[in-house]
Chain A
Amino acid sequence: MAKKPGVLVSAFFLVMGMSGIALGNPPNDGPGCGLGKLAWAETKVSKNNIAPQVMMATTNGTFGSQTFGISSGTSGCTNDGQVWASEKVNVFAAISFDNLAQEMAQGQGEHLTSLATLMGIPADQHPAFFAMTQEKYTTLVQAGEPSPKAVVQAIHDAMVDHPVLAQATTSK
């Protein structure tokens, strides 16, 4: 929605008609997070650079191509197209940062529930988790502004001091 394609450009594209074309940045061997692709065989997953890369992809613009770009050509994927287990929470927090911030302030929501699930917090402790993130909203989001990865760390730290949630962090 950032920019409408001009009417005449649309005219040319119109005949394309059908859906499913995605603009992406093609590596040699098909899109990233592809099924069974070996494009990342040599990719080193650096703990430090995933979140910034992913963020770059999402904040750069608002066209679908950028979102698609998240998954192509950057690290964070296994050879077989899945998100590295160790980076799951960080990748999710990076992509969903705006939604997470909103839902933390609102004390509920599917992104927040999903984050709690990824962090291994049992379902019966979710209300306590939501209340905690709402309570500490300002601190947590400020921590997360420079890097969404930091918000995950900040949430983790906040849980350690929490009477109920502390258990979920130590049990991991």
Chain B
Amino acid sequence: MLNILLIFLALLFLPVGLKAQELPSPYLEELIQQASTGKLHQDRYWHLLLHYRKDFLRGYTSEVDDPGFFLSPNGKTDPEAELQATLTYFFSDTLVGRSKQPAQCAFVARYHWLKEKLHFHESKLFPQPCERFDNWLKELNPASITFIFPSAYMDNPASMFGHSFLRVDREGQTAETRILAYTINYAAEVPPDAGIEFAYKGIFGWYKGFFTTIPYYMKVKEYRDIENRDIWEYRLNFSQEQNHQLLMHAWELGNAYFDYYFFKENCAYHILSLLEVADPDLHLTDQFHFSTIPADTIRLLIRHKGLVKEVSYRPARSTLLKRKRGALEKQEISFLPRLVNDPHQAEQSEFLQLPQKRQTFLLDLASDVLRYKGATDQDMAEDYKANNRSILVKRSQIKIPSAPFHVEPFSLSPEHGHESLRVGEGVGWRNQEIFEEISVRAAYHDLLDPDPGYTQDAQIVLADLRLRHYHRRNQFRVERFTFANVLSLAPIDSLFISPSWKINLGMNTVKTSSCDLCSNGHANAGAGGAVETQVFQREVFFLFGELDANVSDAYDEHHRVGGGVSGGVMATITNNWKWLVSAGYMGYFLGDRSDDIPISVGQRWTLAKNLAFRTTFTHHDRDHEVLAVLHGYF
């Protein structure tokens, strides 16, 4: 009777899910003891595999939010308990985790690492066949890992900073068959009907993020063909063993979801965490405290000497179109619109007199144009498709393969870009008074920052703070805080027709007849158009219609709301010297009825990759200011 009671008690204390016939063996006790002596639960690699981070109380909390990822009920916050539970489950064939496999297979990277550290006698653990993992790995057939960066996409707010994911390159893969490889992609899962709550839910971790393995050809189609984003590919210099470690852990993450935080724990962050598992000597995620911007992670990877083996470029369809169009001979240019509108032009003798190679080049370009138009102009899509079919029939009748065409990107790859945190120190003169200024900007790039590495004509400024000291009155003040200032110029031509737009939210300091230096909250939005010329190096002229609202003691009734127009030019004179000039008229019809003629003239010299000098002159109604400032990027 006592025996039965003892067995009953013993069963009570067994880990959940273990069956009676799997009573823990003395070998398990031995392994737990060994792990405890070796303090394996304090090992960096254990922390990487479980995504543990030091928390405020100096303990550990895992970033994984899926309870199924942990084998101990306290696993999220207790690395030691999780390690013991993991060892215990390695003696069992109980199906665990989201993927419903024995622990040895569901957590194959933990198994591999603990086996190595504790020198398992595998036969004593009842080794489980992990066919699903073996098949998965065999299908991936990994030879190397490539870090992929589709560049910024201004027309989708969630993609303004670009994206990043990994591609698992196959054994025997060539440049031409890369698209068949699988990717490892981390993304938040957002219901398709998500409305405005998308914003705060995305920022504050209300969405779950999952890892997926989507074939690369689908990703290429999404980014290159549909969203017109250039893609940069960085092949990583991992050993085969490191590739396997990464993939074993990726397999484990099929059991996990993470709460998705837009600014920090985003795609870029979790991709870095996978790279750390491949090579624990890399310290990547702990370089990012508040936000993880994909382009910053690339610069970090590049700084690790020898980590990136090869960089390749996959142009967006829009880039390809622009470059091919630029490669047309003068007498060929007029053929393009004719072919696009009427494929029968390819039968005209005038066209047939061109050399065969030029005929194929023009037909291929016409087909690219028609596909671009078909994807961007829904109303006419069927017409473009029909014309494209006719063009391709004509093309197939010229029995030579198209010659390869090398496409140069318009902006250099992101590792050539300045860092995104900006610190500035300046002096200036405002309404006959001298001031000094320091400024800090969290992210990311404005139109006068050095251009290389950033999407052309796109500005995203987030959290930009300027502090000033005015000499005569000996006053310190928060001169300006920009919450967000985003602007996208989209030069229009015969092929590319999209609006330019801008939006600006924040506070600044104004001077009016009634108030000398007054804080002013402002919101501004505008839409318009832009055109491009190439007189010096490159100039973009723009024109906006704007709405503007201000809240300040400087105004009657403490506010004013109005609208107006503004226009200007952004001119790149040399690689290092750029101008931005604008002027406008704003009339305010609500609150303080007033008007304003804002003028702004700025120029920037790039001194080094992460150092630039700029001067600006701004004018408002009764307010004139000149500022010279030195910017460093960190």
When the two chains form their complex, are residues B194 and A14 in contact, meaning their CB atoms are under 8 A apart?
no
Known A21-B158, A114-B177: A30·B486 in contact at CB below 8 Å: no
In the complex, what residues of B have CB within 8 A of residue A83's CB? 215
When the two chains form their complex, are residues A33 and B214 in contact, meaning their CB atoms are under 8 A apart?
yes
In the complex, what residues of A have CB within 8 A of residue B267's CB? 18-20
When the two chains form their complex, are residues A96 and B187 in contact, meaning their CB atoms are under 8 A apart?
no
Tell me if B298 counts as interface (CB < 8 A to partner A). no
When the two chains form their complex, are residues B160 and A19 in contact, meaning their CB atoms are under 8 A apart?
yes
In the complex, what residues of A have CB within 8 A of residue B254's CB? 34-37, 80-81
Known A5-B155, A12-B196, A63-B226: A106·B395 in contact at CB below 8 Å: yes
Tell me if B539 counts as interface (CB < 8 A to partner A). no
When the two chains form their complex, are residues B225 and A99 in contact, meaning their CB atoms are under 8 A apart?
yes
Q: How distant is A98 from chain B, measured CB to nearest CB, in Å?
A: 7
Instruction: Provide the bound-state CA to CA distance between A46 and B218, in Å.
Output: 21
Residue on A nearest B224 in the bound complex, by CB: A99
Instruction: Provide the bound-state CA to CA distance between A8 and B526, in Å.
Output: 10
Question: What is the number of residues of chain B that contact chain A, defined by CB distance less than 8 Å?
Answer: 109
| From A15, A31, A110, contact of B212 by CB (8 A) | A31
Known A23-B192, A95-B218, A141-B389: A1·B375 in contact at CB below 8 Å: yes
A65-73, A147-155, A159-167: which lies at the interface: A65-73
In the complex, what residues of B have CB within 8 A of residue A7's CB? 501-503, 525-527
Q: How distant is A151 from chain B, measured CB to nearest CB, in Å?
A: 13
Instruction: Provide the bound-state CA to CA distance between A134 and B177, in Å.
Output: 19
Tell me if A53 counts as interface (CB < 8 A to partner B). no
When the two chains form their complex, are residues A98 and B378 in contact, meaning their CB atoms are under 8 A apart?
no
Q: How distant is A58 from chain B, measured CB to nearest CB, in Å?
A: 8
Instruction: Provide the bound-state CA to CA distance between A131 and B402, in Å.
Output: 12
When the two chains form their complex, are residues A117 and B161 in contact, meaning their CB atoms are under 8 A apart?
no
Q: How distant is B404 from chain A, measured CB to nearest CB, in Å?
A: 8
Tell me if B207 counts as interface (CB < 8 A to partner A). yes
| From B156, B188, B211, B525, contact of A34 by CB (8 A) | B211
Tell me if A130 counts as interface (CB < 8 A to partner B). yes
Tell me if A79 counts as interface (CB < 8 A to partner B). yes
Q: How distant is B240 from chain A, measured CB to nearest CB, in Å?
A: 21
When the two chains form their complex, are residues A33 and B213 in contact, meaning their CB atoms are under 8 A apart?
yes
When the two chains form their complex, are residues B155 and A1 in contact, meaning their CB atoms are under 8 A apart?
yes
In the complex, what residues of B have CB within 8 A of residue A37's CB? 98-99, 254
When the two chains form their complex, are residues A34 and B203 in contact, meaning their CB atoms are under 8 A apart?
no
Known A16-B198, A18-B291, A24-B192: A1·B228 in contact at CB below 8 Å: yes
When the two chains form their complex, are residues B187 and A82 in contact, meaning their CB atoms are under 8 A apart?
no
In the complex, what residues of B have CB within 8 A of residue A4's CB? 155, 498-499, 501
Tell me if B139 counts as interface (CB < 8 A to partner A). yes
Q: How distant is B296 from chain A, measured CB to nearest CB, in Å?
A: 11
B44-52, B258-266, B348-356, B555-563: which lies at the interface: B258-266
In the complex, what residues of A have CB within 8 A of residue B188's CB? 20-22
When the two chains form their complex, are residues A95 and B217 in contact, meaning their CB atoms are under 8 A apart?
yes
Residue on B nearest A11 in the bound complex, by CB: B503
Q: Which of B372-391 contact A (CB under 8 A)?
A: 375-376, 378, 389
Known A11-B505, A34-B254: A114·B179 in contact at CB below 8 Å: yes
When the two chains form their complex, are residues A137 and B396 in contact, meaning their CB atoms are under 8 A apart?
yes
- Per-residue interface assignment for chain B, residues 181 to 202, with 1 indicating a CB less than 8 Å from any chain A CB and 0 otherwise: 0101011111110101011001
When the two chains form their complex, are residues B196 and A64 in contact, meaning their CB atoms are under 8 A apart?
no
Instruction: Provide the bound-state CA to CA distance between A25 and B503, in Å.
Output: 30
Tell me if B293 counts as interface (CB < 8 A to partner A). yes
When the two chains form their complex, are residues A20 and B268 in contact, meaning their CB atoms are under 8 A apart?
yes
Instruction: Provide the bound-state CA to CA distance between A110 and B196, in Å.
Output: 40
Instruction: Provide the bound-state CA to CA distance between A17 and B189, in Å.
Output: 16
Tell me if A143 counts as interface (CB < 8 A to partner B). no
Name which of B158, B378, B527 has the most chain A CB atoms within 10 A of its CB: B158
Tell me if A108 counts as interface (CB < 8 A to partner B). yes
Tell me if B392 counts as interface (CB < 8 A to partner A). yes
Q: Which of A51-90 contact B (CB under 8 A)?
A: 58, 62-65, 67-68, 70-71, 79-83, 85
Instruction: Provide the bound-state CA to CA distance between A163 and B205, in Å.
Output: 60
When the two chains form their complex, are residues A21 and B98 in contact, meaning their CB atoms are under 8 A apart?
no
In the complex, what residues of B have CB within 8 A of residue A36's CB? 97-99, 101, 106, 132, 251-255
Tell me if B100 counts as interface (CB < 8 A to partner A). yes
Instruction: Provide the bound-state CA to CA distance between A102 and B393, in Å.
Output: 10
Known A2-B378, A67-B226, A107-B402: A14·B371 in contact at CB below 8 Å: no
Instruction: Provide the bound-state CA to CA distance between A92 and B503, in Å.
Output: 41
Q: Given A16-B199, A18-B266, A64-B156, 10 other A-B contacts at CB below 8 A?
A: A5-B155, A11-B505, A14-B157, A18-B292, A19-B163, A20-B188, A21-B190, A35-B212, A67-B222, A92-B215
Question: Could you name 9 residue pairs across A and B whose Cβ atoms are closer than 8 Å?
Answer: A16-B198, A24-B190, A25-B191, A35-B99, A36-B253, A80-B99, A80-B254, A113-B176, A114-B180
Residues of A within 8 A of B (CB): 1-2, 4-5, 7-8, 10-26, 29-38, 58, 62-65, 67-68, 70-71, 79-83, 85, 91-92, 95-96, 98-99, 101-102, 104-111, 113-114, 117-118, 130-131, 134-135, 137-138, 141
